[in-house]
Chain A
Amino acid sequence: GAVVSQHPSRVICKSGTSVKIECRSLDFQATTMFWYRQFPKQSLMLMATSNEGSKATYEQGVEKDKFLINHASLTLSTLTVTSAHPEDSSFYICSASHRDSGNTIYFGEGSWLTVV
Chain B
Amino acid sequence: QKEVEQNSGPLSVPEGAIASLNCTYSDRGSQSFFWYRQYSGKSPELIMSIYSNGDKEDGRFTAQLNKASQYVSLLIRDSQPSDSATYLCAVISNFGNEKLTFGTGTRLTIIP
Instruction: List the B side residues contacting A28 at CB < 8 Å.
Output: none
Interchain nearest-CB distance for B24 vs A (Å) = 15
Contact of B32 among A44, A102, A108 (CB under 8 A): A102
Cα-based distance from A116 to B72 in the complex (angstroms)? 42
Cα-based distance from A46 to B3 in the complex (angstroms)? 14
A49 at the interface (CB under 8 A from B): yes
Cα-based distance from A110 to B36 in the complex (angstroms)? 15
**CB nearest to A95 among chain B residues:** B100
Size class of the contact patch on chain A: 20 to 34
Cα-based distance from A32 to B99 in the complex (angstroms)? 9
Instruction: List the A side residues contacting B101 at CB < 8 Å.
Output: 46
Instruction: List the A side residues contacting B105 at CB < 8 Å.
Output: 43
Interchain nearest-CB distance for A27 vs B (Å) = 15
Instruction: List the B side residues contacting A105 at CB < 8 Å.
Output: 34, 46, 90, 98, 100
- Whether A32 touches B102, Cβ cut-off 8 Å, given contacts A102-B32, A102-B49, A110-B42, is no
**CB nearest to A49 among chain B residues:** B99
Instruction: List the A side residues contacting B42 at CB < 8 Å.
Output: 109-110
Interchain nearest-CB distance for B98 vs A (Å) = 4
Q: Assess the A97–B43 pair: CB atoms within 8 A.
A: no
Interchain nearest-CB distance for A47 vs B (Å) = 12
Q: Assess the A43–B98 pair: CB atoms within 8 A.
A: no
- Whether A34 touches B46, Cβ cut-off 8 Å, given contacts A43-B105, A102-B51, is no
Cα-based distance from A42 to B8 in the complex (angstroms)? 10
Chain A positions within 8 Å of B, measured between CB atoms, are 1, 6, 32, 34, 42-44, 46, 49, 91, 93, 95, 97, 102-110, 112
Chain B positions within 8 Å of A, measured between CB atoms, are 32, 34, 36, 41-46, 49, 51, 88, 90, 92, 98-105
A-B contact pairs, 27 of them (CB 8 A): A34-B98, A34-B99, A34-B100, A42-B104, A43-B88, A43-B102, A43-B103, A44-B44, A46-B99, A49-B98, A93-B43, A93-B44, A102-B32, A103-B32, A103-B92, A103-B98, A104-B34, A104-B49, A105-B34, A105-B98, A105-B100, A106-B46, A107-B36, A107-B43, A107-B44, A110-B43, A112-B41
